[in-house]
């Protein structure tokens, strides 16, 4: 059974790290490993900036961005091949540069960048990084667009697992016998017509999981810049601790509530196929790491904290609501109509509070809701989520959380239906402090 190893942007940001990735991949080759790469460093951001310049007709800026990316990837290849870049790689890099040039000029000419064009531009980053690594490893380069079949929802494409499985058997499996490696891209896929799509930002984790499920891999490894999933984002709580074991449900909940370390859809294919996912530090492979499985045994009542924001809270009040059947159906119909997903819901006798993403079409939602209710809107809020399989079995968690938050105002509270997520809505600018206080109470004191 093969192994899937996904390396994120920071893991392939420079030659030193690329060498480390190659070292880790070679060490795993005995099992037959598929290496799934993100674009190097901030390449995807740079590509999207170039696309925006082109869309606004600023072709010079767009092409300057393209030059900078071309130079950076050439420099990366030169550092890995001090004797000279092999001609095959030179050609591949030049072809990608030429393709990007055409795409940007096309967008600039029309001054229009559809999601479809944006995906075509964004896909160049992963193709650059994988070309370089495949050449350095001397391993086959597989175009993920031949395997990762999706629908045509550009920018957030939905994978088609059945087709993907057949295509993986055809294009990936033959390269993956014991002792061999293959390199492919995360994040990108294609429709059945061959149009390039992407799975959305951070989507390489999802790709790795999809490939792992399709190949019935023994493990899906997510290699990144932290020693596994930690008790909180270390950028907010520097003392966050490694979590050795996490359940699929906890990890999915953390990802959905903002823990950037995993793309929210990552776990789904792995769960369905029963494949363990591990999260590891590329530069510290001997350090701590997290194993995500169906039934881990964790000791503490809470496992980790996550935070998502800014979000907007809508409080919908209707005195007519009392004893009215169908009120909630009517309410949610408005959100369905505007294709707005609702995260948290808390109901009271005559009102319902809900959270939506900050970019939701507020004016239109409000107008429709005001046809039958009063609406209050609170923007710049954040959801702070305390996640743990044992929350439900631990009395007093809510009281402890409120005690820890002290004078920070909690505007909404919701216990997830699966009872492993206690979500609190606070002001967005107070969220880091809320996380620090909750972390101190739940992870730095005796359980
Ligand atoms: P990659 O480029 O490897 O995909 P990301 O930047 O997407 O890496 O994800 C890793 C980052 O996720 C970490 O550097 C960390 O700041 C952030 N992060 C947020 N929450 C957590 C958490 N609970 N545990 C670990 N990292 C987290
Ligand atoms: N390169 C893509 C992004 O930056 C996908 C990923 O890194 O997972 O969003
Ligand atoms: Mg990521």
Any bridge partners for residue 221, and if so which?
5, 278
What is the reported pLDDT for 351?
87
Torsion of CA 105, 54, 359, 361, to 10 degrees: -70
**46 C-alpha to ligand 2 centroid (Å):** 12
Contact predicate 222/262, CB 8 Å: yes
What is the reported pLDDT for 235?
97
What is the reported pLDDT for 416?
79
- The domains of the chain, with CATH numbers, are 3-224 (3.40.1160.10), 304-444 (3.30.2130.10)
Ligand 2 pocket residue status of 39, Cβ below 6 Å: yes
What is the reported pLDDT for 390?
87
The CB density around residue 160, as the number of other CB atoms within 10 Å, is: 18
Gap between the Cα atoms of 117 and 121, Å rounded: 6
**296 C-alpha to ligand 3 centroid (Å):** 24
Ligand 2 pocket residue status of 203, Cβ below 6 Å: yes
DSSP 336: H
Residues with CB under 6 Å of ligand 1 are 8-11, 38, 202, 224-226, 229-230, 232-235, 259-261, 304
CA distances 315 to 7, 51, 174, 430, Å, are 42, 38, 56, 21
The model's pTM is 0.94
The CB density around residue 307, as the number of other CB atoms within 10 Å, is: 22
Of 12, 65, 66, 73, nearest to 40 (Cα)? 12
The pLDDT profile of the chain, 447 residues, written as one tens digit per residue, is: 799 999 999 999 999 999 999 999 999 999 999 999 999 999 999 999 999 999 999 999 999 999 999 999 999 999 999 999 999 999 999 999 999 999 999 999 999 999 999 999 999 999 999 999 999 999 999 999 999 999 999 999 999 999 999 999 999 999 999 999 999 999 999 999 999 999 999 999 999 999 999 999 999 999 999 999 999 999 999 999 999 999 999 999 999 999 999 999 999 999 999 999 999 999 999 999 999 988 766 567 899 999 999 999 999 998 776 567 788 888 999 999 999 999 999 888 788 999 999 999 999 999 999 998 999 999 999 999 999 988 888 888 999 999 999 999 999 998 877 789 999 999 999 999 999 999 999 999 765
The CB density around residue 417, as the number of other CB atoms within 10 Å, is: 8
Contact predicate 426/402, CB 8 Å: no
SS3 411: coil
Gap between the Cα atoms of 288 and 376, Å rounded: 46
Any bridge partners for residue 383, and if so which?
308, 425
- Rg of the chain over Cα atoms, rounded to whole angstroms, equals 23
What is the reported pLDDT for 323?
61
């Amino acid at each position: 059974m093969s192994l899937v190893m996904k390396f994120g942007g920071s893991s392939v940001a420079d030659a030193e790290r690329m060498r480390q990735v190659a070292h880790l991949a070679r060490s795993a080759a005995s099992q037959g490993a598929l290496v799934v790469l993100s674009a190097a460093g901030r390449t995807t951001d740079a590509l999207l900036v170039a696309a925006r310049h082109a869309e606004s007709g600023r072709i010079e800026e767009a092409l300057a961005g393209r030059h900078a990316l071309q130079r950076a990837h050439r420099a990366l290849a030169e550092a890995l091949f001090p004797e000279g870049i092999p001609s095959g790689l030179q050609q591949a890099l030049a072809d990608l540069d030429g393709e990007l040039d055409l795409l940007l000029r096309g967008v600039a000419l029309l001054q229009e960048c559809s999601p479809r064009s944006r995906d075509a531009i964004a896909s160049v980053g992963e193709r650059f990084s994988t070309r370089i690594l495949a050449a350095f490893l001397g391993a086959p380069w597989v175009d993920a667009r031949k395997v990762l079949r999706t629908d045509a929802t550009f920018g957030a494409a939905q994978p088609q697992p059945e087709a993907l499985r057949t295509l993986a058997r055809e294009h990936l499996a033959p390269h993956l016998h014991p002792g061999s490696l293959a390199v492919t891209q995360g994040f990108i896929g294609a429709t059945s017509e061959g149009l390039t799509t992407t799975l959305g930002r951070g989507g390489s984790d999802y790709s790795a999981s999809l490939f792992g499920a399709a190949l019935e891999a023994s493990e899906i490894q997510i290699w990144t810049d932290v020693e596994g999933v930690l008790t909180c984002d270390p950028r907010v709580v520097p003392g966050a601790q490694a979590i050795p074991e996490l359940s699929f449900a906890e990890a999915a909940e953390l990802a959905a509530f903002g823990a950037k370390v995993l793309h929210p859809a990552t776990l789904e294919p792995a769960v369905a196929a029963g494949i363990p996912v591990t999260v590891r530090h590329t530069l510290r492979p001997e350090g701590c790491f997290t194993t995500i499985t169906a039934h881990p045994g964790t000791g503490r009542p809470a496992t980790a904290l996550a935070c998502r924001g800014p979000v907007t809270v809508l409080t919908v009040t209707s005195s007519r609501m009392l004893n009215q059947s169908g009120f909630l159906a009517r309410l949610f119909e408005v959100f369905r109509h505007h294709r707005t997903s609702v995260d948290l819901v808390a109901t009271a006798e005559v009102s319902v509070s809900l959270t939506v993403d900050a970019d939701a079409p507020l004016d239109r939602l409000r107008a429709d809701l005001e046809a039958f209710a009063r609406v209050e809107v609170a923007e710049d809020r954040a959801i702070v989520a305390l996640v743990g399989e044992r929350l439900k079995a631990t009395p007093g968690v809510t009281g402890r959380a409120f005690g820890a938050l002290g004078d920070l105002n909690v505007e909404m509270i919701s216990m997830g239906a699966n009872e492993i997520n206690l979500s609190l809505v606070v002001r967005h600018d107070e969220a880091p402090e809320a996380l620090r206080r909750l972390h101190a109470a739940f992870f730095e004191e005796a359980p």
